Amino acid sequence: MSAAVARVVANPPRLNVPNHLLDTQSFPSHATLNDVLAPSKQSVHFRGFQRGKLHRQKLQLTNKANGARRFHVLNPSTGYFKICFNKTGKLMSGMSLTISVEFSASEYNIYEDFIKIHCEGGHNLVIPLHAYPILDLASFPKSLSFTNTPVCKSVFKKIKLSCPVAVDFLFRLQCTGHPSLSVTPNSGIIPGEGIVQVKVVFCPMEYITASAMVELAVQQFDNPVYKCHVTGVCQPGGTRDLVMGAESTLTPSL
């Protein structure tokens, strides 16, 4: 897939099956709660799914009303999500119905759907369904440090950002703190099943101990932000220390 995942939303095949409740009832367009049923989850997320694999999650609906109630659970409208459950008659007060929610897709993409529930004596419920690939960069370094560096000497460390799935991810880098510390590029794309390198640069213009915070934001469903605290030292004798210490310019690949 060549397009960035943030720009892509699946165009799902719709199951055009006539349904009296869908035709006659009003359902909200977002997650809701009511006085009859209490869902164990307000939404179901298949985070970081694997294409071609069947994924399952459990969802429980509990009758919190005073008496037995009847309700109808409507199937998702796309072919990517399916639900399975055993239901007979009314659900007694305090009892729960367990629904198995299944998801499968042959392509990495962002998929969305709903479980719609018609409730007797209460407002209808909607439980959103989401499935999306993720880029986990939990190994992004928490800290980086530059040893004694000469004045006006520019040194850098490289960080490799790799993506194991066939989806491009947009990223943004921001460096806040002392101006002698910077990062490049400020934004770009981590290619699907590829690698991009970014540089953290230290260029002191005076004797100083500098610090900055580098924030990496990845544009995906949950928009995670990874932070790295960077420090750099510039003291007399920096040229000697740089030669003797052979400043490393690489960090481990992510």
Rounded (5°) CA angle 201-150-232: 45
What is the pLDDT tens value at each position of the chain, 254 positions in all? 434 443 445 555 555 555 544 444 555 555 566 778 889 998 999 999 999 999 999 999 998 888 888 888 888 988 999 999 987 678 888 899 999 999 999 999 899 999 988 877 667 888 999 999 999 888 899 999 999 999 999 999 999 999 988 889 999 999 999 999 999 999 999 999 999 999 999 999 999 999 999 999 999 887 889 999 999 999 987 666 666 655 444 444 44
Both tokens of residue 49?
């799914």
Distance CA 75, CA 84 (A): 9
Place of tokens 């991810």: 169
pTM of the model: 0.71
User: Cβ(25)–Cβ(120) under 8 Å?
Assistant: no
